[in-house]
Chain A
């Protein structure tokens, strides 16, 4: 354990995000309310009202589209900028997400996973954030409130190193509104870890005027895209370094992009994103007691995608049960596609099956994971899946 005394607070995932914003000394927050994200921006507003933050400009915009646009303006003008949203709000931002990454702006956003309407639902579902897969944003999925806090701090450092925006994703209500102990880091130590931002370009520098985001002709546009991909590749390295540094400084290691739990001797593993994996880890412990040799592979970073680490994992297991709290219509669970894609050109290709779980906030319990384990065990023994995509909870 690192040699410092953490500040222990019992907070919701949303408050954990707000505290991280405060500790990161964010300079501009532009945001628009949407359940279940709202309490993040309310808490930040409270910090301002109580004089707990210095120099934080709060821009209560008139829409999420403008929240992202204002964050883009702020970040382009050199400030450390933050926003937060959910589902419909994130979808409304979509156009501007591309703008943020294209203009190479290290904005950090918390997305509280919420199901897309209709039907209206305020509950957990990962399709909103995963649908932003191709926007050039990095995506970190938090398992618990601690990871929300840590994730925001790391996201700023990583984003500002590679000049790409980053999304920290937490699940609706399961994290956003559930209170848990979070070890926060004293401000001086955060400051050492996360120094003030040094912008890639600075609109306040008038020595030699320049423009950002101008028309890119076919002669140049292509190279801009390539550079964006190069930044993502660099991000993989930076993520591991910053995650490792975070571990050394604060005792919680994030140096791998997938969090492996009891996978060393596992016959098959569960793979998934976010808070779901907390339940899975618990189930793994129970299943191990019952004689199942199972493990959990929590994908921390969905973009950049941990291709190499998944290939490594695949070498040692016979099966991967992907748990997707999301869906790409006309295809399958999104993580399933991605994980399979990562393995296609690799020698090790374990059996894979996709379990669609928890859409729109349907509870996913330890018992559900046990049932999935039973099914997956049979699949592995048989050597082929019964069905490739299993709508696990379906009322039949």
Chain B
């Protein structure tokens, strides 16, 4: 069917594919989708670094590479350092890095490899000002090793090392706000994004490409396997995460905050909306849900305030 010009203009997601079929992600994997968008935004002249995580597997075993871009696999905690080293080498060799016509140096790491073991290297990377983009795909647990908690796992979630049982154990800490840690470095550009809002994600990727220095994007990427959710609900869950203000979308640029979604005028949907399709939350009782709800609203108020004062 011929697409009318009026609609074509609204299609901001590049048509070309740089992520091959035949990858080995589970059905409904947010991470795989996210990686596909990254390559749509940056194209082939991209060097991607992936540490130990689900994406190591998704990208395929030797000698395969499901990415239509060069890929360097590295150790779990080293993404920030390795992309810094790659950037330095490209500069020493006289290549243009970042910007619209430069080689894109991208780190693609999970929440565990970012919020926990790789936090130090991430911090060093930002502080030194490398021209590269670090993307943390946030599936809120260590999926590659079989669904253990990470610092990014939310309150009340079941994981294999925070199980629910007769004594009701579950994750007892709130989600670590990695983005806040990143912003504390006064990074030129940081943003949250979601696979449910690809136009917004790609716009942010493009922005990260243009702004010199390090950029950081925290991408909300549902994991049906780890979240015990139906494979066809990933996008809906990701959308509800935004609409409930559990995972609001915003940007931080040169000291300024801008909320992209949800609307600051409307009340966020109740947190139960976000929890409903996910088996990982089924052990939560009313009290747990209330604790999470209060945390979400408090964080949301803080963000709104930041956007108001530093908008």
Contacts and interface: CB of A to CB of B under 8 A. Distances in A.
Contacts of B56: 214-215
B11 to A, nearest CB: 26
Contacts of A204: 47, 70, 90, 93, 95, 103
A77 B61 contact: no
A77 B120 contact: no
Contacts of B85: 28, 30, 59, 69-77, 81
A69 B127 CA distance: 16
B172 interface: no
Contacts of A210: 65, 70-71
A213 B61 contact: no
A353 B56 CA distance: 49
B93 A209 contact: no
B120 A205 contact: no
Contact of A213 (B73, B103, B120): B73
Contacts of B89: 27-28, 57, 73-79, 81
Interface stretch (B76-84, B212-220, B252-260, B277-285): B76-84
A65 B78 contact: yes
Interface string A62-92: 1101110111111111110100000000000
B57 A70 contact: no
B181 interface: no
Nearest to A62: B124
Interface in B47-91: 47, 49, 56-57, 59-65, 67-75, 77-78, 80-91
Interface residues of B, number: 47
B82 A69 contact: yes
A217 B62 CA distance: 8
A209 B82 contact: no
Interface string A191-216: 00000000000011110011111111
B128 interface: yes
Nearest to A29: B88
Contact of A206 (B45, B59, B63, B87): B45
Given A27-B89, A73-B83, A209 B69 contact: yes
Given A73-B84, A203-B47, A220-B62, 10 more contacts: A61-B84, A71-B85, A74-B89, A76-B72, A77-B85, A96-B75, A209-B44, A209-B65, A211-B70, A214-B63
Interface of B: 44-45, 47, 49, 56-57, 59-65, 67-75, 77-78, 80-95, 103, 120-121, 123-124, 127-128
12 contacts: A61-B81, A62-B121, A63-B124, A70-B84, A73-B87, A96-B75, A206-B69, A209-B70, A210-B71, A211-B60, A212-B71, A215-B57
